[in-house]
Amino acid sequence: MHSDLVISQADRRPMYLQIMEQVRRRIAVGDWAPGHEIPSIRALAAAVQVSVITVKRAYLELERAGIIVTRQGKGSFVAESADLRTRLQHGELDEHLSSAIEVGRQLGLSPTHVEKRLRELWDQKAPDDAGKKENER
Amino acid sequence: MTDRVIEVVGVEKAYRFFRLGSVSLELEAGQIMGFVGPNGAGKSTLMRILMGMIRYDRGAVRVLGHPIPEEQASAKRDVGFVSEDMRLHGNVTLAWYMKFVASIYPGWDAAYADVLLRRFNLHADQDIKALSHGERVKAMLLLVLARRPRLLLLDEPTTGLDPVARHEILTELMAVVEDERRAILFSSHNTQDVEQISDQITFIDRGRIIDSSDKETFIDRWRRLHLDVPSGVTLPSLQDVVETKTSGHIAVVITKAYSPAIESIYQRAGAQVREVQRMTLEEIFVANVMSNRREAER
């Protein structure tokens, strides 16, 4: 099975995180539907030229997060869960919010302050009611 | 029956100006081990011991289950060895060598050899003498890869190659371990190649193995911490910290066993953790070698 995952040497994140991220992306954008068979660990390792142990680690963590399932002797598949895409999208959002929280902490800001700031920025980007409704749909 | 392809236990070998050992090492089927060390660290010596080419003074060696050197002939039927100083000689073509190797090894896969010729951009009727360094290395690799041996021992396979040739070779090595019964031990001082494709990594320096672990553990555990150290604060000395550089109110610390607990220890002592960085394998390797040498000289 061909895979189009690309690992970057210049990316500062470890390779297993890059692989996890790209698998999540494939699922979040709908390319890999629930139940879709994903490449075997060794096939993916050979395709992206990254060690087997690294791909194994990425798959293990994806399994732990309930994103993929591995069936002995059958291969690995995207988990059959109805809300998987939503969960992945929320996960992506949480990641960005977490880094914002981290920065807020380093600057010594309170949660209320950060919340208020988020609200302000949100309103700046979507100033009219029409925009809000569009987002809520 | 284990699926260990290499077992080295307490091997020692003394030369007049160099001593190897005691070295212990294990490699399991389905894995790639990167063997990293400075020039003259003992990488080639150990590879030659595995091939039965050098007698060792003490210890035990098994390759594919066969005791070495006693059963080296049986082991070598399924081992492919390529080393930097091996040369293809004579006024012959690559095709001549391919025929020659095919006549010795029944496992020769002629179809795969043709695929490799194309992938490596080599021509069978090329004169061996006319090959460039990169082509010569690829030709030697072709001659062992097409035998499909269970174990590949590659001494500096990517040294002196251009990025394209390196990429071609790494791709073929990864294809080898798609078969989980096969394994590769390769030495290199190109830590980027090692970091990319190895499952296991072993550091060797001055004839001794100074560290050996799976790659993910290495990359996870070694971290560099940047600290702000206010006046009057002394950093506690921690066991797994291998290096501390202090300048003014700033300290940079390297640990080989990072956990968030380390951050709280420094914070409780009054220092501020500014940043925790991961390290490349090259940085880990150098810090590892330097700290081991300091330890040895103490």
The tens digit of pLDDT for each residue in B233-289 reads 999 989 899 999 999 999 999 999 999 999 999 999 999 999 999 999 999 999 999
Whether B84 and chain A come into contact, CB under 8 Å, resolves to: no
Name the residue facing B170 among A15, A49, A54 (closest C-beta): A49
Q: Cα dist. A45→B60, B137, B141, B158 in Å?
A: 33, 24, 21, 19
Within a 10 A sphere around the Cβ of B143, how many other Cβ atoms?
22
Whether B196 and chain A come into contact, CB under 8 Å, resolves to: yes
Q: Distance (Å) from the C-alpha of residue A43 to the closest C-alpha of chain B? A: 6
SS3 A136: helix
Q: Residue B175: closest CA among chain A residues belongs to which residue? A: A46
Size of interface A-B (CB pairs under 8 A): 49
Contact A49 B177 (CB under 8 A): no
* Residues 6 or more apart in contact with residue A86 via CB below 8 angstroms: none
SS3 B222: coil
* Residues 6 or more apart in contact with residue B244 via CB below 8 angstroms: B235, B251, B252, B253, B254
Query: For B12-50, how does the pLDDT look when each residue is reduced to its tens digit (9 = 90+)?
Result: 999 999 999 899 999 999 999 999 999 889 999 999 999
Position B298 scores a pLDDT of 76
CB B225 within 8 A of CB B253: yes
Query: For B100-131, how does the pLDDT look when each residue is reduced to its tens digit (9 = 90+)?
Result: 999 999 899 999 999 999 999 999 999 998 89
Highest-confidence segment of A13-17, A31-35, B75-79: B75-79
Q: What is the DSSP letter of B128?
A: G
Query: For B123-140, how does the pLDDT look when each residue is reduced to its tens digit (9 = 90+)?
Result: 999 999 889 988 999 999
Q: What is the DSSP letter of B71?
A: T
| Ramachandran bin of B59, using left for φ above 0, alpha for ψ from -120 to 50, beta for the remaining angles | left
Q: What is the DSSP letter of B198?
A: -
Name the residue facing B197 among A14, A42, A51 (closest C-beta): A51
Bond before B22 cis per omega within 30 degrees? yes
| Residue B164 burial by Cβ neighbours in a 10 Å radius (0-12, 13-18, 19+) | exposed
Contact B278 A53 (CB under 8 A): no
Contact B278 A14 (CB under 8 A): yes
Position A9 scores a pLDDT of 75
Which residue intervals of chain A are DSSP H helices? 15-28, 41-48, 52-64, 84-106, 111-125, 129-136
Query: For A87-136, how does the pLDDT look when each residue is reduced to its tens digit (9 = 90+)?
Result: 888 888 888 899 889 888 888 899 999 999 999 998 888 665 544 444 44
Contact B216 A45 (CB under 8 A): no
CB B29 within 8 A of CB B182: yes
Q: Residue A50: closest CA among chain B residues belongs to which residue? A: B197
**Least-confidence region, from A2-16, B100-114, B164-178, B271-285:** A2-16
Contact B216 A57 (CB under 8 A): yes
CA distance A30 to A24: 10
What pTM value is reported for the model? 0.86
Q: What is the token pair recorded at B261?
A: 């607990």
CB A52 within 8 A of CB B30: yes
DSSP state letters, B92-107: -BHHHHHHHHHHH-TT
Q: Residue B33: closest CA among chain A residues belongs to which residue? A: A51
Task: Name every chain B residue with its beta carbon within 8 A of the beta carbon of A52.
Answer: 30-32, 177, 199
Position B180 scores a pLDDT of 93
Query: For B55-83, how does the pLDDT look when each residue is reduced to its tens digit (9 = 90+)?
Result: 999 999 999 999 999 999 999 999 999 99
CA distance B127 to B91: 7
Q: Cα dist. B243→B5, B224, B231, B246, B288 in Å?
A: 36, 9, 21, 10, 9
Strands B66-68, B208-214: pairing kind: unpaired
Query: For B262-278, how does the pLDDT look when each residue is reduced to its tens digit (9 = 90+)?
Result: 999 999 999 999 999 99
Q: Distance (Å) from the C-alpha of residue B197 to the closest C-alpha of chain A? A: 4
Q: What is the dihedral of CA B154, B160, B163, B167, to 10 degrees?
A: -10
Compute the mean pLDDT over every residue in chain B, rounded to the nearest whole number: 92
pLDDT(A78) > 70: yes
Whether B119 and chain A come into contact, CB under 8 Å, resolves to: no
Query: How high is the ipTM of this complex?
Result: 0.86
* Residue written as token pair 């021509």: B123
| Bridge partners (DSSP) listed for residue B200 | B33, B214
